Amino acid sequence: MSKIKSYISAFRLRTLPLALSSILMGNFIAAYHLSYKWQVGILAIITTVLLQVLSNVANDYGDAVSGADNEERVGPERMVSSGKISTAAMKRTVIVFSILSFISGITLISFGNFEAMSFKAWALFLLGLGAIAAAIKYTVGKNPYGYKGMGDIFVFLFFGLTGGLGTYFLHTGTVDIWLLLPASAVGLLSAGVLNLNNLRDVENDAKTGKNTLVVKYGSEWGKKYHHFLLITALLFMVLYGAFQFHTYWQWLFLPTYILVVKNLRTVRKNEEPQLLDPELKKLALATFFMVLLSGVALLF
């Protein structure tokens, strides 16, 4: 594998649709409310992509250093643990993407619908710094929160509430309280993808001291938790459609529920954790298409 291919593999581009889901939700609803700013829309997507790649390379680096990545790990090959990218080179990559994320985030905030030096701008600036720190600290450092069972909370916050509400806020300078429902739905589904990852890796995580919620409470608990996350997300989307009903086209996203229900059935019946690996991609794409169909329905 060439160096370029190794870095592309480390970027884990397959994770981008899930990362972009809440951003697209915020963009679609802002456009529906006639408040869309194309600079914000484009920069929000660019910043999210940079943050997600930062999270992925930091995860590759952090898990290799901690020993969580080894020959027993299930899932895509990691570049540092496999020796295709050195620890020093990956650390430099983390720094580069931290700087790029910071620059893109600052530029995004400058186009927000509020005064440049206002309280709103400073609040978003601090939130942006928090997003960069969260992307790195998931597996990097002395006390990574991903090793303490806190990854689910941060995924819900940044892949759901921050992405959806934050993007809408950048467009409008206001907060739509109803947006809490679809933003939370995306956050819960994103936490579901992480939970699938933790169910798949439970044995190796337990051996290497990565104390995810599944490691702490067991796989059977993890399956019940998975059902709670996904079913609650589906209910939130239905509630949003019911209370914000304008046209029957708003229900265009409902066919994606078939994919989510299939995922629930697979998880419930699963006895071999490694067989859950394909389900991560399926649930991530189901979330992405749910948002896409929901947004298209709002606009057309």
Read off the pLDDT of residues 1-17 as tens digits, 9 standing for 90 and up: 578 888 899 898 889 99
pLDDT value at 51 more than 80: yes
pLDDT band at 72 (very low <50, low <70, confident <90, very high): low
Q: What is the pLDDT of residues 209-259, one digit of tens each?
A: 889 999 999 999 999 999 999 999 999 999 999 998 888 888 999 999 999
Specify the pTM: 0.92
Q: State the chain's mean pLDDT as an integer.
A: 90
Which runs of E-coded beta strand occur in 22-176?
A: none
Q: What is the pLDDT of residue 68?
A: 61
Q: How far is CA 251 from the centre of its chain?
A: 24
- Of 52-61, 65-74, 239-248, the range with the lowest mean pLDDT is 65-74
Q: What is the pLDDT of residues 253-295, one digit of tens each?
A: 999 999 999 999 999 999 999 899 999 999 999 999 999 999 9
